[in-house]
Structure 1
Amino acid sequence: MPALRPLSGALALGLAAALASPASAAKPPVACADFHGNTNADWLAANPPPADTGMVSAMGQLAARARQQQIDLLEAAKRAPTGNVQTLLGDFWASGMDEAGVERDGSNPIAPLLERINAIRRDKDIPPAIAALHQVGIPVVFNFSPDVDLNDLSRHIGYFSQGGLGLPDPAFYTRTDADTRTVLAQYGKYVEQILVLTGTPAGEAAAEAAQVIDLETRIARASRPIVELRDPRSNFAPVPAAGLDTQYRKLQLEDFIVAQQVGDATVSMANPALFATLDSLVDDLKPAQWKAYLRWRVGDAMAPYLSRAFRDASFNFRGRVLEGRQAPPTREQQVLDAINLAAGPMLGREYAQRYLDAGTEARAETVAADIRDALGAALERDPRLGAAAKAEARAKLAALEIEIGMPDRDIDYTVQPVGRGSFGGNMLIASTWRHGSEMRRIGEANASRRWNVQPQTPALAYDITLNRLLVTAAMLQAPVMAATRGEPAQYGAFGALVGHELTHGFDARGRLVDARLDVRDWWEASDANAWNALASRVASQYAALPYPALEGVKVNGVQTRDEDLADLSGVELAWAAFEARHPDADKAARQDFFKAWAGLWAQAMTPAAATAMASTSVHAPGQWRANAPLANLADFGELYGCRVGSVMRNKPDDRIQVWP
């Protein structure tokens, strides 16, 4: 299935997920003691944390609503499609929901791939088989995917990067602790199951599984630790595509590039030692070992889309052992996930056309533009930025693009008709189309046509690589941008989220890309020192806040600092924009602004869920995402008559302003 892009996650800064809040008491707290609990009292009473996941949130409910909308769309496309894309989606959905048909199909969908693998006789047959599997969206041995050229952010190049492993971290293959050894033993049993299902005689499965794990271990030892992949710059190393065959004679990488229909003269290869190892493995290992590995990778990648024997084997290891899940998702969710993976842009196109209201889109554009203007004014008066940094910030804000709903530039939806006969076959058809559409991004100045989020997924994100704000169609509904709510609520919820994301274009990360989309630090040392001092104050303030649902635990202010600072900024900017648009707003309207902000972060969770969140999340819990920015905003305390020094009205000396 399509490989993860090496830089997208690191370069695109997405909207935070909703976080924690305690269940409300029978009597709601007063606004000046806990505005989050007061505003969301009815919601909290009606939404106790479920036993299975341990948490529920308003933003999580938005995501669930968007999933149901996608299912409704696919059901309608199955019954009465309009146009070619809906026909494809409806047939895809119908084939996936036909569980009896999937069971009858067995392993037939992957039979042609297995035949290709079984036809390998000599070393030189291995690289073409690798290339063929990549073409259908099954990346084996390594990953090859498009991403931004850090020397020219307007274009993509192909990235050769590490991959090809069945376990999520190379360290699984080399650590010697008991827990890891137990997981590796369970993994071996899973590999055996898949090999048997793909044609290995039961008596030979253990030996072949050992060969698979041996090959993967060799790849893992030549791979870099996961932590070293977090810096996008360490993954970027442009090299000429011509000459790769000379350097890696056995892998035939130039032929591989041609097979993916890529004609660019440059690729990125940040770990040449890995590819030198892979090149030697083609020569050193017997074809039989490679055949076992490739059959395993095909069976593992396609297992969720084949008969129950495949699905159960996959879930028992990947779901239960690796993810700790007790039960697989519903059939609807499994098929929806498959369609989003292989045909997500198709579904996104239809989703936006069906669910995005033109009036709501226009309102979102107006609010976002007002927030941008408020940020411009804030940057101009910011005493921390020197003249050079302020001039660059001004140019960068002027160049900012705001894209709402779905990508402006469409893609080619020409794809082989899928029909309703074989879900696994349809998955391969759609995955081949998706892989081809990804490859066509390479070598063109068309980076802007790619979004790192899909229109059917609720998200609001600042794309640092292209200096643009992305707002998906699915995001423009309650509690973020409900058409039925007035302008105060639209500014308080959607506007504050826009402000949060735009802040990332001008913070400690945004400083690394300038107005011309060159990757460089455009701050002086004095600018950085001033910002770091602000960030330290934010970290200290949040570190004093108790973590909801946990006794004696505080928020990890250092861990959440950057997102906390963006929350503070977002509320400040949205409030300034609202006041500029409605200087004569009455008290009720002004209160609606703040209630909308607090409503975004309604969430309840169990102590177990809170413990997990506290140790891993880069966001403060929902109670403090709602309350802390308001406690720092003087106008909030005055509006609600809160006593200075109360929870919701910080003392002047303790008050933090991002934009003084």
Structure 2
Amino acid sequence: MKNIFAVIFLICFVTNLFSQSSNNIVKVKGVSLDNMDLSVNPAEDFYKFANGNWIKNNPVPPEYSRWGAFSEITKSNESLLISILEEAMISNSPLGTNKQKLGDLYFTAMDTVKIENLKFTPLLPLFEKINSVKNNDDLIKIIGYLHQMGIGNSFGFFASQDARNSSNVIPMFYQGGLTLPDKDYYLSTDKRSEEIRKKYIDHISKMLILTGVDDEIALTDANKIFNFEKMLAEKYMSRVTQRNPDSTYHKMNLSEFKSLSPSVNWDVYFNETGLNENSFSNGTNVGQPRFYAFLNDLFNSNLTEDWKLYLKWKVLNSFAEFLSSEFVNENFNFFSAFLSGIKEQEPRWKKSLGVINRSLGEALGELYVAKAFSPESKSKILNMVDNIKDALRESLNKLDWMEDKTKEQALRKLSTFKVKIGYPDVWRDYSAMNINRNSLVDNIIESRKFNFRRMMNKIGKPVDLYEWGMNPQTVNAYYSATKNEIVFPAGILQPPFFDANADDAVNYGGIGGVIGHEIGHGFDDAGRKFDADGNLNDWWTPEDNKRYNKLADKVVDHYSSIIVIDSSAVNGELTLGENLADIGGMSLAYYALEKSLKNKKPELIDGFTPQQRFFISWATIWRNTITDDGLRLQLKTDSHSPGVVRGVAPLLHFKPFYEAFNIPDNAPIALPVENRVKIW
């Protein structure tokens, strides 16, 4: 019966597409028929219909765990970025200039002869410092010293905007110290977690042996290190709980913070890292107070030798990718091959590019946008943003489930949205970072120290509204709740997301969906708790809260029912914010497209209507192939649903999707009408 339905549907569908004269079919750039599988019934598997041939022709490359539209653009950017770095490396630029720093850092990252000769010796001074720890004061001092070098351990410290007073930057203390990607890998009793624990202990042991530790001692030490991290994991707040900003907001003054861990001499840590009483004039936020109460127990546990083993491991793990090949290979074998299913390491030049992006990202980005980004693109994207904001404004005014009081605040928040496109108006100043050609590890340490100092300098200062959280060459976008801003780097403004020569339907289904997604984050289950000024402040009426949560619960139930691999489903709670942003953002982009098409004669392109091309474009940007282990890891740790889910699941809540492809409510792909949500 299912096959009969599929044949009848496909005949009707094709007849509808090609019934008009071929003279009316216009060819422009955008959706490629070569990537689609037109033999697939879109009412049965829309993802394969839109991406089937692309999936067949794009197995995961051996040096990746996943491959998709994001990675395709990233790869296309790489040749330009590498040419910039190679030119900088031979340019003999004046000392202190960004170009000199880019060239020298790239040189040390590519200098495999020196890296192989040094082995792990650049870490010996850090090991010696850790070995000299005698008491708790020494211990908290070395923890602070390592934090300055970007070596995460035992707890997390950073500076950020106060969620309830976003005009202030305050110290933040969070849980931290794990090496495995999630607490459950330390605690869960499922077969995969048990296998990961065994392999992880073996990995630690192998890494210690490479530093000269005896085999038997290395295995004993590896077990001690694992057990130390397991104690931390037992006190960790779950990823789902952390998604609620109220759960991680515990504002307190300095004395209240110190009282959580009275056995820790915090003044020693503050002196080491550059904090003082003035740093706490606006208080501090402790994400997980319970974790800091446990930290007090750890300092009272007489585990000084275990602390040393653990801290040396965190140093070794933090720098493993920058050491000689035996360390790099073992690090790859566990974290990339075993955990993510990656078959081969990236070539040296690609690893080196990653070093630059993390250390001097905006310096490289400034040179990148000068060659790869046009003012015309920025103008077109700004126009699309305005249209999608207008669509949300109109939708809010029409909502029948939201009270006027909540609508008023929602509209106010929308009116204060800030938009950043392409690249920063003010570039980051790297003058205080000293880069030379001595050694890669030394340069990495200098870069990390620079970033730590830069972060510390923000405390007590006005918020830098010009700062970006991503490099211009990054293929991604983001929403900041405390700044109430959406940011679209130049890197993502390329096909299949955006093509200046494509029709509106393709661009609204691509980058328009991304724009709508980021705007939607301002009103997802977490973002909606922040007001127009970027403050964590509940502006929803109690009844609207209930109505919104009822809609959100339906989304959780839908996504939690989607089996992706083995018997593993999407974690509907962990991915709720991203799923809400997808559903709402896609619909807003569609409304904006419909408005742009008003009073225009609809054109068939490759036999598809603008509405159909919109939905095909949406599915196209989420095309993805992924290793089985990579998919299992994503389901466990990522707040985003897998691409195969994102490409279709949001559409199933949206009536115009069914109408565009004549999909009846009883079609195999259809979501029951009573389970669909319409948020905007």
Same-fold call, TM cutoff 0.5: yes
Change (3 A) 1:420 1:246: same
Q: State the distance in 2 between where 1:555 and 1:286 align.
A: 39
Is 1:598 aligned to 2:579, yes or no? Answer: no
The aligned residue for residue 99 of structure 1 is 112
Given that 2:342 and 2:627 are in contact with CA atoms closer than 8 Å, whether structure 1 keeps it comes out as no
1:358 aligns with 2:375: yes
- Taking the aligned partners of 1:72 and 1:502, their CA distance within structure 2 comes to 35
Q: Specify the SS of the correspondent of 1:232.
A: coil
Q: In structure 2, what is the equivalent of residue 191 of structure 1?
A: 204
Summarize the Cα distance change of 1:460–1:247 in structure 2 as closer, same or farther, 3 Å threshold: closer
Q: 1:498 Cα shift?
A: 1.5
**What SS does the corresponding residue of 2:357 show, helix, strand or coil?**
helix
Q: Which amino acid aligns with 2:603?
A: A
CA separation in 1, counterparts of 2:657 and 2:65?
A: 36
Contact 1:490 1:593 in 2 (8 A): no
Q: How does 1:546-585 map to 2 (within 5 A)?
A: 566-581=581-596, 583-585=598-600
Residue 431 in structure 1 maps to residue 448 in structure 2: yes
* Match of residue 15 from structure 2: none
The answer on whether the counterparts of 2:172 and 2:286 sit within 8 Å (CA) in structure 1 is yes
Equivalent pair of 1:198/1:299 in contact (CA under 8 Å): no
Which one-letter code corresponds to 2:140 in the other structure?
P
Match of 1:319 in 2: 336
1:586 to 2:624 alignment: no
1:517 and 2:528 matched: no
Give the AA of the match of 2:124. A
- The answer to whether the 8 Å contact 2:120/2:323 transfers is yes
SS at match of 2:170: strand
Give the Cα–Cα distance (whole angstroms) in 2 for the partners of residues 522 and 246 of structure 1.
Answer: 33
State the Cα deviation string for residues 413-462 of structure 1 (Å, max 9, x = none). Answer: 12343222311221111111122222223333316455444432212333
Q: Between 377-386 and 497-506, report the one with greater CA deviation.
A: 497-506
The separation in 2 between residues aligned to 1:421 and 1:102, in whole angstroms, is 10
Match of 1:61 in 2: 72
Give the whole-Å Cα distance in 2 for the aligned partners of 1:218 and 1:308. 32
Report if aligned partners of 2:203, 2:330 keep a CA contact under 8 Å in 1: yes
Structure 2 spans left out of the alignment, 5+ residues: 1-32
State the partner residue of 1:301: 318
**Cα gap change, 1:251 to 1:593, in 2 (>3 Å):** same
- Identify which of 420, 430, 434 aligns with 1:413: 430
Instruction: Specify whether residues 219 and 650 from structure 1 end up closer, same or farther in structure 2 by C-alpha distance, changes over 3 A only.
Output: closer
Task: Deviation per CA, 1:124-178: give whole Å up to 9, x if none.
Answer: 3333222211112213332211233122123332222222344444555566778
> Partners in 2 of 1:281 and 1:536 — Cα distance?
39
Cα separation, 1, equivalents of 2:305 and 2:677: 65
CA gap of 1:155–1:333, structure 2 versus 1, over 3 A, is farther
Equivalences for residues 323-402 of structure 1 within 5 A: 323-402=340-419
Residue in structure 2 matching 1:625, options 624, 640, 647: 647
Q: How many residues align?
A: 635
Partners of 1:552 and 1:214 lie apart in 2 by 30
Structure 1 residue identity aligned to 2:121: N
1:73 aligned onto 2:84: yes
Is the Cα–Cα contact under 8 Å of residues 123 and 282 in structure 1 kept in the other structure? yes
Superposition deviation, residue 392 in structure 1 = 0.8
Q: Which of 243, 249, 263 is the aligned partner of 1:236?
A: 249
Cα 1:260/1:349, change in 2 over 3 Å: farther
CA offsets, 1:617-648, max 9 Å, x none?
8547658836974994559947x8x4876969
Hey, what does 1:4 align to over in structure 2? none
Change (3 A) 1:321 1:300: same
Q: Which amino acid is 1:598 matched to? A: I
Secondary structure of the corresponding residue to residue 487 of structure 2:
strand
Q: CA deviation at 1:482?
A: 1.9
Root-mean-square deviation over aligned CA pairs: 4.5
- The secondary structure found in structure 2 opposite 1:235 is coil
Q: Does 1:500 align with 2:517?
A: yes
Which residue of structure 1 aligns with residue 137 of structure 2? Answer: 124
Alignment-mate amino acid for residue 124 of structure 1 = D
Taking structure 1 as reference, are residues 346 and 199 closer, same or farther at Cα in structure 2, changes over 3 Å only?
A: farther
| Per-residue deviation, 1:48 | 5.4
Matched letter for residue 157 of structure 2: F
The answer to which of 88-97 and 520-529 deviates more is: 520-529
Tell whether the 8 Å contact from 2:526 to 2:577 is kept in structure 1 after alignment: no
Superposed CA deviations along residues 269-307 of structure 1, whole A, max 9, x for unmatched, are: 344554455445446537554443332321221111111
Q: What's the counterpart of residue 470 of structure 1?
A: 487
SS in 2 for 1:268: strand
